[in-house]
Amino acid sequence: MVRLAPIPAGLPATVPFVGPETLERQSGRPFAARLGANENGFGPSPRAVSAMQAAVAEVWKYADPTSFDLTAALAAHHGVRPENIMVGEGIDGLLGLLVRLTVAPGDVVVTSDGAYPTFNFHVAGFGGVLDKVPYRDDAEDPQALAERARQTGARLIYLANPDNPMGSWQDGAAIAAMVDALPPGSLLVLDEAYAEFAPAEAIPAISADDPRVIRMRTFSKAYGMAGARVGYAIGHPDLIAAFDRVRNHFGMNRIGQIGALAALQDQDWLAQGVAQVAAARDRIAAIGARNQLTALPSATNFVALDTHRDGAFARRLVDALAGQGVFVRMPGVAPLNRCIRISCGPDAELDILEQALPRALATL
């Protein structure tokens, strides 16, 4: 076998997530309710579906390597310049490129213990050193993150707002204050994958030209297009331009580009989907309450249900639900792992959850 480079050779052979398809193959049957991957089961805009269907016949063409039309539309949508936008293969792909651009072996990167593991996966893959701070009251702690960044001289600081896996969110003013407290040369990676679900006051008033912050957005969540793999970054033009040095210029999916543009132009559908998610959050909370589980406040398309036990119990409950045909996940770090995390979905899938949850609890 070919010899691996030193950094990947020293990494464990693990992946951040095991997909539901893998679990289905292992069990030999499909899930009746797919409520674990934070996908938007309410689906994309019909206009996006129609645009993608029309684009299929021309899939022989490569995607526009500059994503020109989508970039221009996103810039207009956010009131920034096209030079502030970089379109990429979902936030995950953009995070990998950002780490490659900014983190040299041995550089410190600060994040929260239990926060989005894919970011950690990229940092380890490029030889960065992760320094983690605990959650406070089931939420990421901007003040503690900034303090650790000052102590370590961190290159990157990762914060998701709203947060995955707990669904909590920060006030925008607290994030703006955090930015002002960062050491010189540090960059805040503000993951706003769930921003469309958040209250207006959670979104900080930070200029796209501020070199201390890069924001990440996606079409996977509120726009219901997780499989299209379309995300984008908003940041200072010099940093955005640097992505061209390392990115796969033909990595975007042409059909996804066209679908994302049509989805962006259908804000009425987006508003309808956000309302459906809010109603589903309420229903999940009610289902949990009837089974002595407490819903944590959420500004995302999922709900963390507190089992009031420990991680071992929560893991058994996740497995028991899988045995009932319901796919859910749980946080991986104590004390967050006392919860199970359930994605919002249509009534038909929540009907299945409502029947399965008490049966799964009974088996424990």
pLDDT in tens, 243-261: 999 999 999 999 999 999 9
pLDDT in tens, 77-127: 999 999 999 999 999 999 999 999 999 999 999 999 999 999 999 999 999
Beta-bridge partners for 133 = 112
Tokens of 240: 């955005």
In 3D space, the residue among 88, 49, 94 whose CA is nearest the CA of residue 225 turns out to be 49
Grade residue 58 by pLDDT with cuts at 50, 70 and 90: very high
Residues 6+ apart with CB under 8 A from 207: none
φ/ψ region of 114 (left if φ > 0, alpha if ψ in -120 to 50, else beta) reads: left
Per-domain residue ranges for the chain? Answer: 18-43+268-363, 46-265
pLDDT in tens, 350-359: 999 999 999 9
Separation of alpha carbons 44 and 247, rounded Å = 27
pLDDT value, residue 353: 98
Beta-bridge partners for 231 = 88, 218
Q: Is the pLDDT of residue 15 over 80?
A: no
Question: Chain-wide mean pLDDT for the chain?
Answer: 97
Residues 6+ apart with CB under 8 A from 327: 20, 23, 31, 33, 34, 35, 36, 37, 321
pLDDT in tens, 146-188: 999 999 999 999 999 999 999 999 999 999 999 999 999 999 9
Grade residue 199 by pLDDT with cuts at 50, 70 and 90: very high
pLDDT value, residue 309: 97
Question: Strands 294-295 and 339-343, how do they pair?
Answer: unpaired
Question: Strands 187-191 and 156-160, how do they pair?
Answer: parallel
Q: What is the mean pLDDT of residues 31-48?
A: 97
Grade residue 13 by pLDDT with cuts at 50, 70 and 90: confident
Beta-bridge partners for 189 = 158, 214
Side-chain-facing half-sphere of 210: CA atoms under 13 Å: 19
Q: Is the pLDDT of residue 17 over 90?
A: no
Q: State yes or no: cis peptide before 162, omega within 30 of 0.
A: yes
pLDDT in tens, 303-315: 999 999 999 999 9
In 3D space, the residue among 195, 215, 180, 218 whose CA is nearest the CA of residue 90 turns out to be 218
pLDDT value, residue 362: 97
Contact by Cβ (8 Å): 233, 215: yes
In 3D space, the residue among 289, 297, 287 whose CA is nearest the CA of residue 352 turns out to be 287
pLDDT value, residue 30: 96
Grade residue 1 by pLDDT with cuts at 50, 70 and 90: confident
Separation of alpha carbons 185 and 306, rounded Å = 39
Domain 46-265 has CATH 3.40.640.10: yes
- Class of domain 18-43+268-363 (CATH, top level): alpha beta
59 vs 13: which has the higher pLDDT: 59
Residues 6+ apart with CB under 8 A from 330: 165, 311, 314, 315, 318, 337, 339, 340, 341
Question: Strands 156-160 and 129-133, how do they pair?
Answer: unpaired
